Structure 1
C-alpha cells in the first residue's frame, strides 16, 4: 500500500496535492482557527494558484471533517474533536492497534523493526514545542503507527486508520506532552517488542501507549466546567 504524502510546512510546490496539504496544515496548526471562514480567493492568492485547486482541496478537507460547507457561507473550519469523539476514536484504536502490534511482532520478513527505528530517529531529531514542529511530529507519529498496521498483514487496517484521521484530531488538541518525551518512550517500548518478536509485549506496549495518549489528551477537557468530571468516566470505558 502506498504511503500517503507527508508534505511538510513550508513546501513551495503548488500542485493539487500540495495545495491540499498546505491548507490542511494551516488548519491543524490553527493558522485557520476553528469556526473561521475560509476565503477561496485569499487562499488562492496566498498559494499562487487558481481557485480551482483550492476548491478541490476544500472538498477533500470536507471529507476529512476539517471543514464544513454551507450554502450561505462557503467553507468554515470545523471545531476540534470533543471528549465523546475522543473516546470513540480511542475505543476503535484499542480494538485495532494492539492486535496489529501483536501480528507485526513475528519472524516474518515483514517485521517492521528497522522501519520503526528509522521513524523514531526522525522523531527524536524534532526539537521544540512550536506548532510547526508539533505538526511535523504528528506526521511522523502517523507514519510510525501506519508501519505497524501495514505489517500486520491485514490490508483493511491502514485505510481504516487513515479514515479515522487520528493524527489530525490528536494534533488539534493542546498537547500536554508538547515535546513528545513520554510518547517517544512509549513508542520505543512498542518498537523494541516488535523487533524482538515478542507479540505479548508488543500488544501490551501498544495498549499502554494508547491509554497514556488518551489520558494526556482527555486532560484538556478537565478545564471545561461541563466536562470536569468526564475524563475519568471516559477512561473507564476504555479499560
Structure 2
C-alpha cells in the first residue's frame, strides 16, 4: 500500500481553486503525519489520485517546499522533511524570543481599537473551541491568527515578514500533533491580549515572553518522552 493511499480524493471544483485545495490537503497530511517524515511524494501519483492535471500539484508542492514541509531532490522528486530536532527547535524559539516579546510591547502602544476588538474576539473564539471534537486543529489555527494579529497591531512589517518566514506554527504543529490542545495556551494568549488592550507595553512584553518560554518547554517534553 502506498503512503498516498491514505490521502482523501478531491471532488470536482473550479480550476481557480484547484491548486489551493491540493495544497490544503497535502499540507494537512504532512502536519498530522498521514504523510510521515521522509515519505516520497510523487507528483504524478498525486495528480492521478486527485483527478487533476500535474500543474496544480506542482504548484502545491512548490508552496510546501517554501513552507519547509517537503524537499525537492534532483532526479528523485519530493520527500517530506524530517521533524525538527531539539537543537533546531531551540534555535527557532531563540528567534521567537528575540522577535515576539518586543513586538507585543510595541503592539500595546500602537494598537487601534479595531486591533483590540479583533484580539479579544480571537481569544473568545478560542475559549469556545476548547471542548470541540476537533479542538486541536481549531486551536492551532487560533494560535496562528492570534500571533499574526499581535504582529499586525505592532505595525512592524519587517518583523512580521521575518516571523512568517520561519513557518514556526507549521513546524511546531507537526512536531506536537496529538489530537489534543493545552488550554493553558489560551489563558496565556488572554493575558497577552489584556496587556495590549491596557496599553501596558512592559506587561505585554512579559506576558509574551512567558508564553513563548512555556510553549518551548511543552514541546521539549515531547523529546523527553
Judged with a 3 Å threshold, the aligned counterparts in structure 2 of structure 1 residues 82 and 128 are, in CA distance, closer, same or farther, namely farther
CA drift of 1:107 comes to 6.5
- Within-5 A mapping of 1:1-239: 14-106=17-109, 108-109=111-112, 112-127=115-130, 133-174=135-176, 178-223=180-225
Q: Which runs of 5+ in 1 are unaligned?
A: 1-8, 224-239
On the 8 A contact 2:110/2:153 being kept in 1, the answer is no
Equivalences, count: 214
Question: Could you give the per-residue CA deviations for residues 102-148 of structure 1, whole angstroms, max 9, x where no partner exists?
Answer: 11112652662211112122222324687x64233222211100111
Over the residues paired in the alignment, what is the CA RMSD in angstroms?
2.5
| C-alpha distance in 1 between matches for 2:32 and 2:191 | 29
Q: Which runs of 5+ in 2 are unaligned?
A: 1-7
CA drift of 1:177 comes to 9.8
| C-alpha distance in 2 between matches for 1:66 and 1:169 | 8
SS in 1 for 2:129: coil
On the 8 A contact 1:150/1:157 being kept in 2, the answer is no
Judged with a 3 Å threshold, the aligned counterparts in structure 2 of structure 1 residues 175 and 59 are, in CA distance, closer, same or farther, namely closer
CA drift of 1:63 comes to 1.8
Judged with a 3 Å threshold, the aligned counterparts in structure 2 of structure 1 residues 55 and 133 are, in CA distance, closer, same or farther, namely farther
CA drift of 1:192 comes to 0.7
On the 8 A contact 2:130/2:183 being kept in 1, the answer is no
Question: Could you give the per-residue CA deviations for residues 84-108 of structure 1, whole angstroms, max 9, x where no partner exists?
Answer: 1111111111111111111111265
Give the structure with the larger helix fraction. 2
TM-score, normalised to structure 2, is 0.85
On the 8 A contact 2:135/2:179 being kept in 1, the answer is no
TM-score, normalised to structure 1, is 0.81
Judged with a 3 Å threshold, the aligned counterparts in structure 2 of structure 1 residues 107 and 89 are, in CA distance, closer, same or farther, namely closer
| C-alpha distance in 1 between matches for 2:150 and 2:101 | 10
| C-alpha distance in 2 between matches for 1:101 and 1:83 | 26
| C-alpha distance in 2 between matches for 1:53 and 1:168 | 21
